[in-house]
Structure 1
Amino acid sequence: MDWLERINRAMDYIEQNLSDEIDGREAARLACCPEYHFPRMFSALTGISLSEYIRRRRLSQAAFELQNVPDVRIIDLALKYGYDSPDSFTRAFKSLHGVTPTTARSKGVELKAFPRLFFQMTIKGESEMDYRIEVLDADIEIVGVKQEVVTQEAFHTIPKLWEEATASGLVPRIIEMSWENPQCKMEGILGVCGKQAAITDEKFDYLIGCRYTAEYPGDMEKTVIPKSTWVVFPNITEAWKRLYTEWMPTSGYELADLPCIENYLAPDRVPNNELWVPVIAK
């Protein structure tokens, strides 16, 4: 099953469950993508967030029902499409369509239809994408502090964890540790996402640390990364935008069962951050 088929299968699942609860883990599983990264991939592909796409699709379907099912009740539509009350549904409906659900029943009223998305391959003149393949030919030890993150809130939570780690003095401590025995690969300050790239649990541990082989402080813990192959991209933010849309579909690689790692280098380095993604050949 190729990449396009997988992501369209996830879109089929979302479409079939617009009037039910949509499980982000199931959508990510169908796309063969880590739950943590699926919303980022979707946003990179479409330009809108996954939650906003679902919201618009539901409100589009609600508009169709209002015009085509004369006796449908607004409270029933509100509950059907995930709103707690007719008032919250009405506000959301008016925000998208510009009119209230009651007004939308009338013929001749202009509404907005947000169509179901399908993905297909196109050829376009994108700029080149820099990457390198790194092979870790021995186990590496990473030491740091873990904090639990709710998977669905990860994109908001993790930047705050870094801010708190800097303010508390954790980041300066880790920088000092990284200088004791510098490593030639993955030598920066590291953010380790869970235990595997395919995050399917509701929560996962995010470790802020560095490679370290000496005795470590008691308030820290160690994780070991075994021998493995990685694709490394400069510029973490840009890499996440293009990894799934441009590199993975044609690379001949799949995600390995190891965590993705964000590698933050010295400020004077160019680039000063990298995304390490564990891969295996297909």
Structure 2
Amino acid sequence: MIASLNRLVDLVEDRLDEDLDVARLAAALGTTEYHLRRLFSSLAGMPLSEYVRRRRMTVAAAEVVGGSGDLLGIGVRYGYRSAEAFGRAFRAVHGVSPGQARRDGGPLRTQPRLRFRLTVEGAAPMDVRLVTRPAFRLVGHAARVPLVHEGVNAAIQQHVASLPREEHARLKALGDAEPAGLLAVSADLDPDRREGTELTYLHGVVVSDEVEVPDDLDVLPVPAGSWAVFRAEGTYPETLQHVWAATATEWFPSNPWRLRPGPEVVAVLDRADDFSTATVELWLPVEPA
């Protein structure tokens, strides 16, 4: 996977002046757009689309400052149809207009070309198992919330806290399949996993086809497939967020599996009364790479 990401960076560099067909590039690299975008975002710390934008503006800035051609022509070459659109994009990255940069030579904020390397950590072995599950249903209470990479997600916290205590017990009694217990489900995630983009969060359980679901609950059907299940314990939610990051930096690059579209499910197996610490399982939908 590391080699594929580096090849992607090379292909991006070759196509800075044209629209990037990520699906076609992913197919050429023997993977999927979904997996490629997720892994790139996790490892690079920015979405693929943002990296492309920054690299375009870095190369465009060199042409602007170098005085090679009129500003509109440079903007058009890098995909902008007007001087205003190019100016807005240029200022968003560099903090100055193209005209100011040409006159003053900067300041400029350049994005270096990325290079991915696999770092062997080995200090903390990952507790993971692979599970194949038939189709199942996730049922519970859903809400649209923003994606937060670090720390407590206030919108999720508020959503769960708004449910009456007896509702948690009702949901738990309704669940009859694995993953067991009350679940935190994230679905409809942005392919680039950009901070602040909206996702569907469901607080609920897994039920089999035999269970009659009450009309007041939301239902999320999940097709059959394989899952990588990562178990961890420690401070919450930091430990869970660190485990997700480690799947991208350690597990996927060294195992013949890739992410497939589907919800990400967190099962809380045990927790402190104040939820400061917890033992959790992170279920990620996967397929052979």
TM-score band, normalised by shorter chain: 0.5 to 0.7
Q: Distance in 2 between matches of 1:6 and 1:212?
A: 38
Q: Distance in 1 between matches of 2:89 and 2:133?
A: 56
Query: Alpha carbons of 1:54 and 1:256: their partners in 2 closer, same or farther (altered >3 Å)?
Result: closer
Q: Distance in 1 between matches of 2:166 and 2:74?
A: 53
Indicate the larger mover: 55-64 or 165-174.
165-174
1:239 and 2:243 are equivalent in the alignment? yes
Decide which structure has greater strand share.
2
Which residue is equivalent to 1:189?
183
1:88 and 2:88 are equivalent in the alignment? yes
Write the deviation string for residues 177-209 of structure 1: whole angstroms up to 9, x where unpaired.
Answer: 1145676744232305359x9x9xxx9865442
Q: Distance in 2 between matches of 1:175 and 1:10?
A: 48
Offset of residue 65 of structure 1: 1.1
What 5-or-longer segments of structure 2 have no aligned partner? 233-238
Query: Alpha carbons of 1:226 and 1:40: their partners in 2 closer, same or farther (altered >3 Å)?
Result: closer
What 5-or-longer segments of structure 1 have no aligned partner? none
RMSD of aligned C-alpha atoms?
4.5
Identity over the aligned pairs, expressed in percent?
A: 24
| TM-score for the superposition, normalised by structure 2 | 0.67
Query: Alpha carbons of 1:86 and 1:143: their partners in 2 closer, same or farther (altered >3 Å)?
Result: closer
| TM-score for the superposition, normalised by structure 1 | 0.68
1:66 and 2:64 are equivalent in the alignment? yes
Q: Would you say the 8 A contact 1:44–1:241 is kept in 2?
A: yes
Write the deviation string for residues 78-126 of structure 1: whole angstroms up to 9, x where unpaired.
Answer: 453558446524533542xxx65335446987755433223243x4445
Which residue is equivalent to 1:176?
170
Which residue is equivalent to 1:276?
283
Offset of residue 6 of structure 1: 2.3
Q: Distance in 1 between matches of 2:216 and 2:28?
A: 39
1:142 and 2:138 are equivalent in the alignment? yes
Task: State the one-letter code of the partner of 1:132.
Answer: V
Out of 144, 155, 159, the residue aligned to residue 147 of structure 2 is 155
Out of 16, 20, 29, the residue aligned to residue 18 of structure 1 is 16
Which residue is equivalent to 1:209?
204
Which residue is equivalent to 1:53?
51
Q: Distance in 2 between matches of 1:262 and 1:182?
A: 16
Q: Distance in 1 between matches of 2:109 and 2:45?
A: 18
Offset of residue 170 of structure 1: 7.6
Task: State the one-letter code of the partner of 2:281.
Answer: E
